[in-house]
Amino acid sequence: MEDHLKEALEIVKAQASVRTMTEEEITSMVQKLSDGIRRISEGMQDKISSEPTPTVDPKKAIREKSIVCLESGKSFKVLTKRHLAKFDLTPDEYREKWGYPKNTPLVCKSLQRERRKKMKDMKLWEKRKKQD
């Protein structure tokens, strides 16, 4: 096994011991790290591409119990304005950058369902009609 692959495996192993990762995330991370380490060891400069590459497929980033930030690769229940501001992005710019529809909530699916149910239970539209 080549040195750059061994180094990439060590890094990913350390990362996996700290947080839960899917098999797809582990494989993807090993490949990217291995390629990066190989390029550096060969003396090639990493060319910054104009199109960013996410750590996870954007279609799979919004999960049942978490949402993966495609900028940082970290998992959250909600992607806040404050977190996205670290990358000089607003929620709308984030959605546009990663190809999400404008009305897509940046929260995990379970929390989205809870919020929807709570709003239906509150029946605010009925209270508004009664006040008129």
pLDDT by residue (tens digit) across 4-55? 778 888 888 888 888 888 888 888 888 888 888 777 777 654 444 445 667 7
Q: Quick check: pTM over 0.75?
A: no
Q: How far apart are CA 101 and CA 108, in angstroms?
A: 16
Please tell me whether residue 110 adopts helix, strand or coil conformation: helix
pLDDT digits (tens, 9 = 90+) for 71-86: 888 999 999 999 999 9
- List the beta bridge partners of residue 68: 75
CATH numbers and ranges of domains, the chain? 1-45 (no CATH), 58-132 (1.10.10.1550)
